[in-house]
Every structure is written in structure tokens, then in C-alpha cells.
Amino acid sequence: MSGIKLTNVTKLYQEGDFKTIALDNISLNVASGEFVAIIGPSGSGKSTFLSIAGALLQASEGQVVIDNVDIASLSERKLSEVRLAKIGFILQTSNLLPYLTVMDQLLIVKKMSGSIKAADREHAKELLTEIGLGKKLDKYPHQLSGGERQRTAIARAFMNDPSIILADEPTANLDTKRAHEVVSLIAKEVKARNKAAVMVTHDERMLPYCDRVYRIEDGRLTEE
């Protein structure tokens, strides 16, 4: 099954005699074409969840399967290949490189995994046009609005045709109108391109765009 599946995942942090349970035996299954939201207060385990789902952090117990591959047993090199090929990240801040044009923000993703081909330029142009940035290909981040920067980041997340999209508070720095534009755009692209997507958010106004909503509190996950 393509998508992402977490089964009985626990994450413990041990400092001396103190043990902190960041994630407590959570299970979640997100199939291709599904857009799932996880809400919860600060310190509830949202960031730990995203780090484990994004192959940035290893679970203490349990299984994380991305596109039928259990990532727990992979070497660091294989994990970085999974992150590059299988996962698209959309962060709170757009994290664009100030010295690259909108077009080059996407092409650098291809450069990281090899060389840039003519088809890659076409794909980047198609993605950017689709999200309303077709006339901004040569602009630099400082020439864009906050919403345009975040849309560039969304296009970049889809550039490598990943199976999984992970969004970390993608509306944190946007006003209400731009926030709705950004999340509706993520939802639209997830459906159109058949990706499994998880968005961590504080912003409950964005939940109607999602197929399912989960709440995380004290490291425990429950469906709303």
C-alpha cells in the first residue's frame, strides 16, 4: 500500500533518571489521496510525530512504513534517500533560499538527487503555473508576498513527486485569507496528485479542508 503507516509508535527521551514520553503508542494510517490533520497544544508531541513520520527521528518502539518499506531498519544513507525521494516537507516558514529565483527553488531539489533535465524544468514550470506563480518564475523571495513564498514552498514539496506530504503549521505566518488559500491549495494538490498528506496545525479554521482530524495530547493520538 502506498502512503504512510505508523503502528504502535512510542518515543521516549531519557535524561538521567527522568523519562519523558513524547509519543505514547500511537497508530495512524494515511493512504494516497488522503489529507489528515493533527491538532494539539504546544508540547503535545506534534513535532516529534512529524520528525518520526518524516524519517528525521527514530521511534523508540513501533513501526513506520512508507510505501511498503519499514524505515526503522534503514541505514542513514538510505533514510536520506527516502526523505529526498518519498517525502515533501512544507514548513511554517517557507525556508526559501534568498539568492535563488522561484524556478530555481524547485530545480535545486532535482539537483540534490542528480542532474537537472529539460523535463524537470517543464515539471517545475507546470507546478508553479498550476499554483498561480507562472508569471513569477524569475522573481526572488524578497519580491514575493508571504502567501506567494508559501505557495513556492508547496510547489517545491511536490517537485520530486513524493508519496508523502508533511506540513508543519503551514499557515502560522499568514493572515486568514492567505491561510485559506494555502491550505485549500495543499488539499487540491494532494487530491490531484494522489499523495498521502499529514498537516500539523493549531489553526482549527483549516480543518474543513481535511478528510480526517486527529487530536494529540500528552503524546496520545485520538480521532476527532
Domains of the chain (ranges plus CATH)?
Answer: 30-57+73-223 (3.40.50.300)
Write out the chain's pLDDT in tens, 224 residues.
Answer: 689 999 999 999 988 888 889 999 999 999 999 999 999 888 888 989 999 999 999 999 999 999 999 998 889 999 999 998 999 999 888 889 999 999 999 999 888 878 899 999 999 999 999 889 999 999 999 999 988 999 999 999 999 999 999 999 998 888 889 889 989 999 999 999 999 999 999 888 999 999 999 999 999 999 99
Contact criterion met (CB below 8 Å) for 184 and 150? no
108, amino acid identity: I
Contact criterion met (CB below 8 Å) for 196 and 30? yes
Helix (H) or strand (E) holding 9: strand 3-15
Rounded to 5°, angle at Cα 22 from 17 and 27:
135
**For residue 1, what pLDDT is reported?**
60
**For residue 114, what pLDDT is reported?**
82
